[in-house]
Structure 1
Amino acid sequence: MKNLLLLFVLASPLAAQSPTAASLAHQVDAHYNHLQSLQARYTERYQGMGLDRTETGSLTLRKPGRMRWSYDSPAGKLFILDGKNAISYTPGDAQAQRIPEKQLDDLRSPLRFLLGHTELAKELDGLSLTAVNGGYTLSGTPKGMQQRVRSLALTVDSTGTIHTMRIEETDGATTTFTFTDMHENIPTKDSDFIFTPPQGVAIINGAAPI
């Protein structure tokens, strides 16, 4: 009996260190609620509809509500949130598409987690936690998107930092974002979040980019 009691006492601190889905979701919320800026490298992979496409680039984020996704290829491809609108532009196109940020209910919508706009435990149905490779994966189904998105999975570390985000749609297509070389709370430039169209390029109202 004493040996069993000793084993229980020794194991208890280890068990206490293991997060629950709810506690880790709160840690992620707190991390990004307090984050003011972020720079990182990203890899975006889309698999579905017979396609397997991978794009890479750099991400700059600044609160409130500003992001810049600069793609490596084609050079000059951009996705910008300026605090009010999202603007998507690919070099060679005659138009850049603009959509109000509040209408971004598409695949990029889960990226608002990086801006600290959500509460994971409230926004994901069936929230679950799995330990993976020294980190954790939080997964669930985004509320209000059940007809389009089967699951959203965030792979995070114990500090609540998101390293991978995977969106699986109901048709089986998946989009995975991986973040590396992350630098938090560093100075950013106002110009990073302003889109100046090249000569001859018009900005039009369009659909949310995928």
Structure 2
Amino acid sequence: MTSRRLFLSTILAGLTVPALARAALSGAQQAAVDRVTDWMKGLKTLSATFVQIAPSGALTTGRLWIQRPGEMRMQYDPPANILLVTTDWRLVFYDGTTKQVNYIPVAQTPLGFLLARNPDFGDEVLIRDVEVTGGEIRITAFSKGNEDQGSVQLVFAEKPVELRRWTVFDPGGTKTVVTLSDVRTNQDIDQELFVWRDPQLFGYPDLD
């Protein structure tokens, strides 16, 4: 599989499983979901480093920046040479190896929910399962109406609530895990990070 196909399948897999899988939540599960939703509504910015584990076991690393609503930058370290930037509610996917650029609606990505202005579960994004265990809240979610795609599990620290990692499951059941570290929230972020400029012409901005 080429790097472009690998990263597109990893990042852009849909949030979908059969609609019949929608969970009936207990009171404790709903309370956990409400805590996560409240945290997300109060989240203005997030920055972190990440490690991604592909289905093959291959590791890649990089940096993540989120500014809610609607803005994100995910920049992979060499040799991956992959860059994702959301702008105007579209995601720009740049593969530096092939010099190709793809544009995808943010709502069609696993991170669409995290970037939404109103991050409530219920209408388009539904819950398959909620686990509260080991100091974590794990929410498996999918989008309504697309039965032939995968799903995503968002994992949050319980006390205090904080995003730790997400796992994308493809329709065949294989998974890709992205784990965050050095997470910083509600701090100023350079706005240039969320402006799409072709690295072939402008290079990469200083990340320090």
TM over 0.5: yes
SS class of match (1:120): coil
Hey, what does 1:91 align to over in structure 2? 96
Letter in 1 for 2:41: N
After TM superposition, the structure 1 stretch with the greater mean CA deviation from structure 2, 30-39 or 137-146, is 137-146
Letter in 2 for 1:37: T
- Deviation of 1:27 (Å): 1.3
- Deviation of 1:89 (Å): 1.4
Identity of aligned residues (%): 23
Partner Cα distance (1:199, 1:56) in 2:
21
The runs of 5 or more residues in structure 1 that have no matched partner are 1-18, 202-210
- Deviation of 1:67 (Å): 0.4
Letter in 2 for 1:131: V
Which residues in structure 2 correspond to 1:66-145 (within 5 Å)? 66-74=71-79, 76-101=81-106, 104-105=107-108, 109-116=109-116, 117-120=118-121, 123-126=125-128, 128-145=129-146
Q: Which of these residues, 45, 48, 52, is aligned with residue 44 of structure 1? A: 52
- Deviation of 1:138 (Å): 2.4
Q: TM-score, normalised by structure 1?
A: 0.70
- Deviation of 1:39 (Å): 0.5
- Are the equivalent residues in 1 in contact too, given 2:32–2:132 (CA < 8 A)? no
Q: Give aligned pairs, total.
A: 173
- Deviation of 1:37 (Å): 0.8
* Aligned alpha-carbon RMSD (Å): 2.5
Q: TM-score, normalised by structure 2?
A: 0.71
Which residues in structure 2 correspond to 1:17-36 (within 5 Å)? 20-36=28-44
- Are the equivalent residues in 2 in contact too, given 1:135–1:155 (CA < 8 A)? yes
Decide whether aligned partners of structure 1 residues 177 and 145 sit closer, same or farther in structure 2, where only a CA change above 3 A counts: farther
SS class of match (1:43): strand
- Cα deviation, 1:19-50, whole Å, max 9, x if unaligned, reads 71111111111111121111111122221xxx
The runs of 5 or more residues in structure 2 that have no matched partner are 1-26, 203-208
Partner Cα distance (1:154, 1:64) in 2:
18
Decide whether aligned partners of structure 1 residues 113 and 28 sit closer, same or farther in structure 2, where only a CA change above 3 A counts: farther
- Cα deviation, 1:145-191, whole Å, max 9, x if unaligned, reads 33212x43222122332212112222122121211111011111121
Decide whether aligned partners of structure 1 residues 76 and 194 sit closer, same or farther in structure 2, where only a CA change above 3 A counts: farther
- Cα deviation, 1:103-128, whole Å, max 9, x if unaligned, reads x52xxx221233244323552244x3
Q: Which of these residues, 55, 72, 92, is aligned with residue 60 of structure 2? A: 55
Decide whether aligned partners of structure 1 residues 20 and 147 sit closer, same or farther in structure 2, where only a CA change above 3 A counts: same
Letter in 1 for 2:187: I
After TM superposition, the structure 1 stretch with the greater mean CA deviation from structure 2, 171-180 or 92-101, is 92-101
- Are the equivalent residues in 1 in contact too, given 2:81–2:97 (CA < 8 A)? no
Hey, what does 1:6 align to over in structure 2? none
SS class of match (2:79): coil
SS class of match (1:118): coil
